[in-house]
A and B are shown apart, each in its own frame.
Chain A
Amino acid sequence: MAAIEILGLEKTYMVGFWRKRPKRALEPLHLTVDEGEIFGFLGPNGAGKTTTLKLLMGLVFPTAGSARILGREWTDPQIKAQIGFLPEQPYFYDYLTAHELLDYYGQLSGVSAPDRRHRIPEVLSHVGLTDVKGIQLRKFSKGMLQRVGIAQAILHNPRLVFFDEPMSGLDPLGRREVRDLMEQLKREGKTVFFSTHILSDAEALCDRVAIIHKGMLRSVGAIEELTSTVQGKVEVVWQGTNVPAGVRVLSADCHVTGDTVRGIINENQQDAAIDALRRERMRLVSITPLRTSLETYFVEKLQVRCESTSENTVGAAAGTRV
């Protein structure tokens, strides 16, 4: 069963105080997310990611279209018990402590009192907030609030979670933890739908991604599908300080850094290169097919400069994870 089916949702805001002008935020969107997958919703600033999520949550009303969530009509109040939502830059009742807030939200989601009692400390430690008892949320830092936001989204054990930019405001450790958390949710069979413009996160986590720009869906698919426009090249890395002649004739650009060398060669010359290295008794470190990174894809696809490059830690190759 599909976890989310978006059937032509579209949104036109009316802006202006006196003479209202239409502002198109989302063109009719068709999208299906399967159960159990981690789905990335990518797009630059102002693309319409948040708008889509707000439509799905019933916070704003669509100009046209509909959606189904977990097999039910998306306006059905009953499905709300089975979904979790992290808004972007979440803000909460700042006169409450984290425990009180989660207790209140647990009540609203219909979590029983005994369940709340053990679940609240559990999710709080899960998001790395252990020492916050008795502190009102007004004294929380931005990253801490983000963590509370994630905690409230998973509090009631939802089958499907929506995260709007879950990594924003988090330190590197926090990002790592949230990635782990999403992977754990996936292992538990939950569906995760999250929006981001941080490509490395998407590359690291997503089964599939959708790319949206100026309110229009540009492409959907598995990361490999989108990026595996293999240019028929592989990257070979070995230990050493020189490039053997057998390799040099094959290729082209080799870079020596310290005692490792990286060389890019054509895929069909891969075996020849290995032989050459062996002959010289050099230690092979890795061979990876070279793919277009999501970033390159993004830039090409959207023909815009992505403002998030500074945040972007995508390596040159998709396979550098060792």
Chain B
Amino acid sequence: MSSRGRTTVLAASSLLVSITASVLSLRHIDQLHPTSPVEDVLYIGSPKMVKRASFGFDGLMACMYWTRTVQYFGHRHLNGEMSYNELAPLLEITTALDPNMMAPYQFGASFLAPAPPNGAGEPDRAIRLMQYGIEHNPNDWHLYYNLGFVYYTLKDYKQASATFARGSRVPNAHPFLKILAARMAEHTGDYSTARMLWSATFETSQDSHIRLNAIAHLRSLQVDEDVTNLQAAVTRFGERAGRLPSSMEELTAAEHLPGIPIDPDGKPYELSPEGRILVQNPDNFIFVTKGTPPGYKPPAFGRLRK
């Protein structure tokens, strides 16, 4: 073989070996510090510092931080961590870098206020984030919707109603803001209002976390509503017959229902000997408040599932 041919063979093999080796060592390094992208958030916690350090590439940095936020949330969520301590700073930095980016506000509305494990449990920062967004985008009705939604989840119906009303006056606002404002004023924490809110959240967002969260809420709402109605039927049966129905069949016959009612998973509801309506797999409906056996504890971490 000529000396040039020998060099070629050697260089080609060393290329292959060293590329493989570099990928392998990178995998090792990954195991050494898996959460590195978020680490520097801890160092530069102040959004102003980050903005100054981004040398005018604010937009690009905002995208970067937004990706980090989603990744951080997804990562923690997947690993079933109970806390999202860096979620608020991440969102604040992202919106400080680009106050006109809508996605972080929507994300914050869904996940900042709820208590762990479903959110960061920081309602005050959630409200502040939304107000900051409204300051910078006073003509975007979505932000009023998001803020009102946060108030609603905090059961502050008065503020929620006022916020929805403000939002409904923004040009091109979605008409349902008016309806929401009215319903909040009557303070009906009823199921149809809740359903309306969660459906709107689902429809106005593209983010898979937000949408899955909304679906989980809608499914749980359905269960709550069904259980409430069936429990009322049990009570009616008791008042009429002077005893509890012996089975679901007896209850449905007495109520003239076409069949045994089923939950969103297609499983029939059950009747306990004590006359309680139960959903078969409460673990599949992480936000249910009704239809669970006494002493039921929701799973340690609630996974959002389809």
Chain A residues proximal to chain B, CB less than 8 Å: 73, 75-77
Contact = CB atoms under 8 A, between A and B. Distances in A.
Q: Which 4 A-B pairs have the closest CB atoms?
A: A75-B2, A77-B3, A75-B4, A75-B3
Nearest to A58: B4
Interface of B: 2-4
6 contacts: A73-B2, A75-B2, A75-B3, A75-B4, A76-B3, A77-B3
A77 B7 CA distance: 12
A89 B28 CA distance: 54
A73 B5 CA distance: 14
Contacts, number: 6
Contacts of A77: 3
A76 B3 CA distance: 7
A61 to B, nearest CB: 9
Contacts of B3: 75-77
A67 to B, nearest CB: 13
Nearest to A77: B3
A77 B4 CA distance: 10
A20 B113 CA distance: 64
A76 B2 CA distance: 8
A76 to B, nearest CB: 7
Contacts of B2: 73, 75
A24 B242 CA distance: 108
A81 to B, nearest CB: 14
Nearest to B2: A75
A75 to B, nearest CB: 5
A77 B2 CA distance: 10
A73 B3 CA distance: 11
Contacts of A76: 3
B3 to A, nearest CB: 6
B179 to A, nearest CB: 62
Contacts of B4: 75
A48 B2 CA distance: 26
Nearest to A78: B3
B10 to A, nearest CB: 15
A77 B6 CA distance: 13
